[in-house]
Amino acid sequence: MENLIEILKAVLFGIVEGVTEWLPISSTGHMILLDEFVHMNVSDAFWEMFLVVIQLGAILAVVVLYWSKIWPFDFSKKGKDIIRQDTFSMWFKIVAACIPAAVVGLFFDEILEKYLYNPITVAIMLILFGVGFIFIENGNQGKKARVKSLAKLSYKDALIIGLFQLIAAIFPGTSRSGATILGGLMIGVSRTVAAEFTFFLAIPVMLGASLLKIVKFGFGFSGMEAALLLTGMVVAFVVSMIVIRFLMGYIKKHDFKVFGWYRIVLGVLVLLYFFVMK
């Protein structure tokens, strides 16, 4: 019975991960907050690893949904290997955008977790970036986007978006997708392009972060630990497939202000809980 309860907790965390990884509302922030109320009966080392590696399920959803856009080879033309130059160019831009966060994550991961991965930091960043979304969207009303396709995204644009990703890597509650989308909007990238580039940017970032966490944890999983991790990843994958489709349809007709208000309200509630009620 206890094992079943833990599996159900993993399902809940998988749902939260699948929803919040792609909406600009902070997946790590929500996972940290959920842990305050639904605590998994696992070691601290496993929890730290689970918090990151569960995101691989969500990343796989991007790979499945956007395979035709991210795979740089086309073998369909008379049996000849055709290289899609624009896709290769996109991946070079993604690599450039990943460098700042990769360097910080590799050398400062443990320090950041020790001092910044807490509900208060999450709440503050939820509010700050919520205000940012509302401010930027209000400023963009009536303006035409400068970059309307991934092919038009320059290396400079990619690097700037990568710097915003760095903010998310340092401060939980920022939202990696939220930070990169906001960065894209600020420099004139359309919502659709900013969102897609954010999705693709997550692939190497989360693969690298997950590999680092697994190596640090080791490969000596117990049967229950393996079941919890696999359950969370599978649920995150299924939910992400739904959420990504929803988000791409949503932003064709709406802006991101609703997510900004959500972030502000949630951040205030978290601060009230930890400073007043707890």
* pLDDT score for 208: 84
Alpha-carbon gap, residue 95 to 270, rounded angstroms: 35
pLDDT category at 32 given cuts 50, 70, 90 is confident
Report which DSSP code applies to 82. Answer: E
Phi, psi for 78 (deg, rounded to 5): 55, 35
* pLDDT score for 218: 84
Over range 28-45, report the average pLDDT.
86
* pLDDT score for 35: 86
Reference 16, options 5, 28, 3; nearest CA is: 28
Provide the residue range defining the domain that includes 157. 2-277
Q: In the numeric block, which tokens belong to residue 233?
A: 């990843």
Over range 220-245, report the average pLDDT.
94
* pLDDT score for 205: 84
pLDDT tens digits, 71-85: 888 766 665 667 788
Phi, psi for 82 (deg, rounded to 5): -110, 125
Instruction: Specify the range with the lowest mean pLDDT, choosing from 93-97, 141-145, 161-165.
Output: 141-145
Q: Tell me if 10 sits within 8 A of 34, measured CB to CB.
A: no
The pLDDT of residue 166 is above 90: no
* pLDDT score for 17: 93
Q: What is the number of structural domains in the chain? A: 1
- C-alpha dihedral (144, 145, 151, 154), degrees to nearest 10: 130
Instruction: Return the percentage of the chain with pLDDT > 70, whole number.
Output: 97
Q: What is the pTM of this model?
A: 0.88
pLDDT tens digits, 90-136: 999 999 998 888 788 777 777 877 777 788 888 999 999 999 999 99
> How many CA atoms does the CB half-sphere of 131 hold within 13 Å?
7
pLDDT tens digits, 192-218: 999 999 999 989 988 888 888 888 888
* pLDDT score for 153: 94
Length of the chain: 278
Three-class DSSP category at 239? helix
Over range 256-266, report the average pLDDT.
94
